[in-house]
Structure 1
């Protein structure tokens, strides 16, 4: 059964909205074969163990077994859930795309300051094994919010994922990157892994639910919704329905965070970028503004800082809640940095894209340029400086340093990825495409370049090309997770 029985693919689409092809070649066939091997009595001439191995590979599933399993699937709710669990493989970690959590903390605190006595409501859908909603709790607590000031709902279609989230014990693969100080504050080391603190766990309400079925009758409206890296697996009709339902569940001025490759889908539904670097936040247009409105001049829009899609020139509305895109490290209390965040200037005073950098960025420019040029910094140091400059909003200087580094680091995929991000943020889509493609040529498994290129292709109307790249990115993510799990050698660091 190398190709999945069309009945199973149709059932999966109707039950979950997931397009079987988006899961990768033969993924559904393998899952069906594995579940059949576990649940059906073997009635073949081969040795049972050999038969089961053949079924689980998805290579051979006899007609009688396929029919018997179909009957079991359609008659047994528990088996339908088991097959979904086998297909939905969680791949996440704490503070994944952490800029979204920095934005949640900063804007959430600002929203409550403007509306004292209100409760900030956050939805994580799907929540996988809990890393995302727990990250949201930690970010809000670090911002100085109390439990009485926010409530977080989290849903997932996988019963196994919900059980893992409720248990709240995580291995090494759930903690990635260098910023892990939060683990010392909010986790306890145990023989089984790192157990999340009760003060974090009690802030989240978990529920096993189908996203589309749960949203439709749900009465609550949310200030922030995390719906990341799931829409790409839906077919077009399910994507459209999901986004419409998500929009209907937003409060006025609310924000939806999506995955990097899903930004094009949001723009297709006239959602507008919140102009928060690498957070992938979107909101509904303000009255009188539309997603396809082109401003008369660059000064009509807020300056994009590494926004990974050419959406800046396509939108004219100001950032949600009137905030400026200022990064705040999540490992330090966000509240301590709140006084350093500058409010967004009035729309008429917004500077053009290529105007002199803001004071914070200008200071970084002076310091970095002085250090890079006076001390004979290495190309690697220049590239690191370029990234810091880009994060500070000094895109022109960042591009100059990155291009300088590229002369010595022409075979470094990260160099071209950064140049792609900068070109992307400045609305030069063709250059961004070329840079992303070069990064992927040098490093075919560069996950970020794959997803950003896919997003650009989606915006430009090449849905098939975007779909192919996202399938590659999904395989890369799965391989990374498998390597991380295999290399852990234990349950916690």
Structure 2
């Protein structure tokens, strides 16, 4: 059974909206084999233990065993949940893509100031093992809100994930990056791991639920919805249905946060960017506006900075649903990537861990003609990134272009130049820069997803899908390495 039985793939699509192919090579076959190995009754003398090991690898599953498991799956609700749990392996951490939580805290406080007495409502769907909704609680508390001022609902189709979230105990892998001061404020160390404070747990209502079945009849409207890094696993019809349901649950002026690789999906549904760098927030268009035109408003006066332009569905460094094959680059030989110098450690990638803090609201540009306020090309590139995040795109581009003379082999240099060109509406130039970044680093997740966006917009759907498959594999490999480097798994 090296390929999933079509019946199981059809069942998975119907039950969850997940496209089996999006999970990686043979992931469904392995999960089915593993579940069959522990549930199908066999005669020990006819089917020794070694056979079960082969089943669990997905390499082989006898026809009789497959039929027996199919019968069990379709008649036993608990087994349906167990197979889903075997497939949905959460890969997340606290304050992942931190800018979204900063935006939630800032805009949530502003909303309550304008509407005193209201309760801010937040939805996390899916919530995985709880890191996302708990991060939202901590962000709102740190912004000065009281628990009476907000309510957070969190759902996930995985019963194991909901149980882990309710338990609230986390291992080292749930804490990444340098900004871990929140752990001292909101967690206590236990022999099993870090236990989140009861006051934070009480602020979230968890529920095991199917996204589609739960949203359709749900009466509550939310000010903020987190639906990040799951749409990429749905097939097209399920993506469209999910976004329609999410839009229907937004309050007027509400915002949906998605994963970096899902922004194109929102554009396809005529959602407009909130123009918050690296937060990937979207709103429904105001009357008379379109997804291509952001109406004049106080928010529109803020430069768009590096909010990505359309990206089609694909990660994040998305949740790691099963394992993926090692990525084989298509655009450049492996030897070329191996020969290039290691890039400087610049915090340009929110998907590789917690982003570095952005500059203050006002970032002073270096004097004209100066390479950087620092003395090295690396410092110039870091300054360029801060300027771009603050909306000073012209000066950021000037600095990045100068830095590129010395850092021509650094993929992040060309990625930043591509983002700036993208944000300024120069798609041909952006496309060339994204390709350069991918040539230098074939598994550069963000460059892959943004280049896919441009190809999708230009009508090259097949090219875009090919790049997104590469991006998924790159993201899952990053997640695997991150877990290994952290030296542990979820508690």
Question: What secondary structure does 1:270 align onto?
Answer: coil
Check the 8 A contact 2:317/2:476 in 1, yes or no.
Answer: no
Check the 8 A contact 1:299/1:348 in 2, yes or no.
Answer: no
Question: What secondary structure does 2:54 align onto?
Answer: helix
Q: Within 2, Cα distance between the matches of 1:443 and 1:331?
A: 10
Shift of 1:130: 0.6
Q: Within 2, Cα distance between the matches of 1:307 and 1:53?
A: 47
Q: Within 1, Cα distance between the matches of 2:335 and 2:347?
A: 27
Q: Within 1, Cα distance between the matches of 2:145 and 2:204?
A: 15
Q: 1:190 to 1:484 in 2, by over 3 A?
A: farther
Q: 1:267 to 1:326 in 2, by over 3 A?
A: farther
Unaligned runs of 5+ in 1: none
Partner of 2:309: 309
Check the 8 A contact 1:255/1:282 in 2, yes or no.
Answer: yes
Q: 1:399 to 1:346 in 2, by over 3 A?
A: closer
Shift of 1:145: 0.3
Q: Within 2, Cα distance between the matches of 1:298 and 1:325?
A: 47
Q: 1:360 to 1:324 in 2, by over 3 A?
A: farther
Moved more, 374-383 or 184-193: 374-383
Q: 1:334 to 1:191 in 2, by over 3 A?
A: farther
Moved more, 388-397 or 123-132: 388-397
Q: 1:333 to 1:235 in 2, by over 3 A?
A: closer
Q: 1:235 to 1:252 in 2, by over 3 A?
A: same
Q: 1:459 to 1:226 in 2, by over 3 A?
A: farther
Check the 8 A contact 1:445/1:476 in 2, yes or no.
Answer: yes
Check the 8 A contact 1:122/1:153 in 2, yes or no.
Answer: yes
Shift of 1:458: 3.7
Moved more, 93-102 or 47-56: 47-56
Check the 8 A contact 1:274/1:319 in 2, yes or no.
Answer: no
Q: Within 2, Cα distance between the matches of 1:329 and 1:484?
A: 21
Q: CA RMSD in A?
A: 10.7
Q: 1:198 to 1:297 in 2, by over 3 A?
A: closer
Q: Within 1, Cα distance between the matches of 2:345 and 2:176?
A: 38
Q: Within 2, Cα distance between the matches of 1:488 and 1:198?
A: 26
Shift of 1:471: 3.0
Question: What secondary structure does 2:113 align onto?
Answer: helix
Q: 1:484 to 1:186 in 2, by over 3 A?
A: same
Shift of 1:323: 41
Question: What secondary structure does 1:292 align onto?
Answer: coil
Q: Within 2, Cα distance between the matches of 1:228 and 1:90?
A: 12
State the TM-score, normalized to the length of structure 2: 0.85
Q: 1:300 to 1:178 in 2, by over 3 A?
A: closer
Q: Within 2, Cα distance between the matches of 1:191 and 1:265?
A: 43
Check the 8 A contact 1:105/1:334 in 2, yes or no.
Answer: no
Q: Within 2, Cα distance between the matches of 1:87 and 1:483?
A: 19
Check the 8 A contact 2:261/2:316 in 1, yes or no.
Answer: no
Q: 1:323 to 1:14 in 2, by over 3 A?
A: closer
In the TM superposition, what whole-angstrom CA distance separates every residue of 1:23-59 from its partner, at most 9, and x where no partner exists?
1121111111111112113458886332122212212
Unaligned runs of 5+ in 2: none
Q: 1:451 to 1:317 in 2, by over 3 A?
A: closer
Q: 1:364 to 1:245 in 2, by over 3 A?
A: closer
Check the 8 A contact 2:18/2:234 in 1, yes or no.
Answer: yes
Question: What secondary structure does 2:352 align onto?
Answer: coil
Check the 8 A contact 2:20/2:28 in 1, yes or no.
Answer: yes
1:368 has 2:363 as partner? no
Shift of 1:460: 3.8
Shift of 1:88: 0.9
Q: 1:329 to 1:133 in 2, by over 3 A?
A: farther
Moved more, 386-395 or 105-114: 386-395
Shift of 1:489: 3.5
Check the 8 A contact 1:16/1:210 in 2, yes or no.
Answer: yes
Shift of 1:396: 1.1
Shift of 1:325: 39
Moved more, 42-51 or 60-69: 42-51
How do 1:122-271 residues align onto structure 2 when only pairs under 5 Å count?
122-271=122-271
Check the 8 A contact 1:232/1:261 in 2, yes or no.
Answer: yes
Q: Within 2, Cα distance between the matches of 1:316 and 1:336?
A: 25
Question: What secondary structure does 1:365 align onto?
Answer: coil
Q: Within 2, Cα distance between the matches of 1:78 and 1:314?
A: 30
Shift of 1:233: 0.9
How do 1:326-341 residues align onto structure 2 when only pairs under 5 Å count?
none
Check the 8 A contact 1:264/1:456 in 2, yes or no.
Answer: no
Q: 1:345 to 1:22 in 2, by over 3 A?
A: closer
Q: 1:451 to 1:167 in 2, by over 3 A?
A: farther
Number of residues of Structure 1 aligned to a counterpart in Structure 2: 490
Shift of 1:491: 6.7
Check the 8 A contact 1:215/1:245 in 2, yes or no.
Answer: yes
Q: 1:491 to 1:390 in 2, by over 3 A?
A: same
Check the 8 A contact 1:44/1:51 in 2, yes or no.
Answer: no
Shift of 1:457: 3.4
Shift of 1:362: 11
Check the 8 A contact 2:415/2:447 in 1, yes or no.
Answer: yes
Shift of 1:451: 2.9
